[in-house]
Structure formats: structure tokens, C-alpha cells
Amino acid sequence: MIIADLTSKELATIMAGPGLRWGCGPFTMQLKTAISYFFDYFQLIYGRHPIIEEPWSDIADFHIQLTSSTKHRRFWRPQVFFQLDGMVQLAPFPKDHAPPMFEWGWNFAIAGRANHFLILHTAVVAKGGRAMILPGIPGSGKSTLCAALSLRGWRLLSDEFALLRPGDGLVFPTARPVALKNQSIDIIREFDKQAVLGPEFSKTRKGTVSHLQPSEDSVMLMEQPALPAWVVSPQYQEGQTPILQQVPKEHSFLRIAGNAFNYETLGGDGFKAVARIVRSCNMYDFRYSNLEEAVDTLERMVEDSP
């Protein structure tokens, strides 16, 4: 059974009561909230994710609760709070920003607690069992390029994290939505008229935000990890024709280690995991402007790879 199989009333009853448990790649999630307008967003974006119905209903990797203001703040600038395992995390958002609060809070939870993985702050897509890691600083076009590739048949593993298992170097997907910001929202709408985006939330801490629904294949295959094959660092530059420049491996180790949330925490396992990426992946810097040209360039690179 998937989340979309629930009626709006059923979803609201479960979330406001015991909480909804669902699978998201390597994680089991449980979410409780009584914020009614959040349900439509959640069902649109996560509708294809599987519901977990085992009787041990309280077992989950992350217990998340979205709560709203009490007393006078219910009427004057109401707020939403993100709770993880019963503890409030992060500063509150305006109540009508509950969906981005949920997404950013979940990012916070993974970054702080999923230390059985090497956690890289990067987007990841995959094709044919091989993964392309897309690290990038804010404004580099990482999420926009990730969204475009996912809309052209690549499997979306994550817009936020590469979750690499230290033992074998496999990267595990979550198939969560791509968070698009500001101009990227209209760029993706123009790039693919069939793209399914959630509502826009203006005046967030990152500007206007909307979330791209992950593809059906991305969700259906999110139990299947992929083996990293390429690390491509994108940089959007207005008017730039696509330039894909290979980076020497000896320059890549510090780049990747510096992109990890928990490299030091993992100690020797973190070193070995980063070394495995450097040995097994081709590394590139990628400058681009036009998304169609960018996708074509990366497709040709993959076709020419052994």
C-alpha cells in the first residue's frame, strides 16, 4: 500500500493520531501532525512512497512531529515547530511554511544521525546502476541540474545527500523531492511542462521554494543502491556553453572530504570511503548555462564512459 491509496480523511486521521509510518530508502519514518493543509502537500509529493503497516508501529529511524503554536501565537503570527524524538529542533517557521519546515528539519535529522553512512552534501542521480554525484555550493545550479536530469530519465537518489556505505561504497537513495529555489522554479517549469511541483512558499530563509515530485521510477527503485561512477561539480554561468573539464584525482580527495558532514566522525572508515570514491570515479568540473545542452553533455559523457 502506498500513501496515495489513502483518502485525505484517512491520512489526516492517521497523522493526527498514531502517526504515519512509511519507507524512504534505508530509513523508516514516522510523522505526526494535525496541521491540516500539510496533508495535501505530503500526499502530492510523497504519494508513491510505501506505507509500513507492521504491528510494531512505534519503531522508526526518525520520529518527527510538526506542531503549531499554542495560546496567543495561534492567532498572532502562528508558527510551526519541528520535533525529533519529542524534542524541538531548529527555530520555528511561520505556520504556513510547514512543508519546507518538514523538509529542512528532516535534512537536519539525517545530517546529524545517519552516521552509519558517509554523508556528503550533494545531489545524486543514477542510470544503469551507476551514480553521478553532483556537489555544489549554493547558487551553483546543483538542484536545478539534478531536477533536469531526473526529468530526462535519470533516477533521483537525493537532492541533498549522498549516503555512502563505508564497507562497499554503495550510495543509498531516499527519492525525496528536489527543493527548487527562486528562478529555478520557473526554469524547471519551462524545461518540462509535465513536471509536478508543489506549492510555492515565499519569504523563506532561502527565498521562494517549491518542491519537485520524484519520478515514479525513482520511488519504485529506492531500495536499490547504486555504485558511484562520476563526480561532477556543476557551476551555472550565464551565457556559458557547456564545458566539462576533468579534475586530476590528486586534487579530489580534499574536495570530497570537505563536502562530508561526518568525515571526522567516521575516522578511518571515512578516509577509506573517500579514497574509494577518488579511485573509482571520474572527476569533473562542469560549467553550463542552458539546461538542455547541459543534460546532453552529461549524457554523452556517460555514453563514452567504459
Q: Delimit the domains of the chain by residue range.
A: 3-113, 118-304
List helix spans (H) across the chain: 8-16, 38-46, 98-113, 142-150, 183-191, 216-220, 253-258, 263-266, 268-280, 291-304
The mean pLDDT of 74-102, rounded to a whole number, is 88
Residue 250 has what pLDDT?
84
Contact 131, 125 (CB under 8 A): yes
Helix 38-46 vs helix 98-113: angle between axes, to the nearest 10 degrees? 60
| Cα–Cα distance measured from residue 283 to residue 232, given in angstroms and rounded to the nearest whole number | 6
| Cα–Cα distance measured from residue 274 to residue 171, given in angstroms and rounded to the nearest whole number | 12
Q: What is the largest CA-CA distance in the chain?
A: 63
pLDDT > 80? residue 55: no
The mean pLDDT of 40-58, rounded to a whole number, is 85
Identify how many contiguous H helices and E strands the chain contains and give both numbers. 10, 16
Which has the closest alpha carbon to 233: 304, 126, 140?
140
The mean pLDDT of 182-194, rounded to a whole number, is 96
Reported confidence tier of residue 76, pLDDT bands at 50, 70, 90: low
pLDDT > 60? residue 56: no
Reported confidence tier of residue 249, pLDDT bands at 50, 70, 90: confident
pLDDT > 70? residue 10: yes
pLDDT > 80? residue 61: yes
Q: What is the pTM of this model?
A: 0.93
Q: Which three cell numbers stand for residue 129?
A: 546502476
H or E element in which residue 125 lies: strand 118-127
Residue 73 has what pLDDT?
60
Identify the architecture of domain 118-304 in CATH. 3-Layer(aba) Sandwich (3.40)
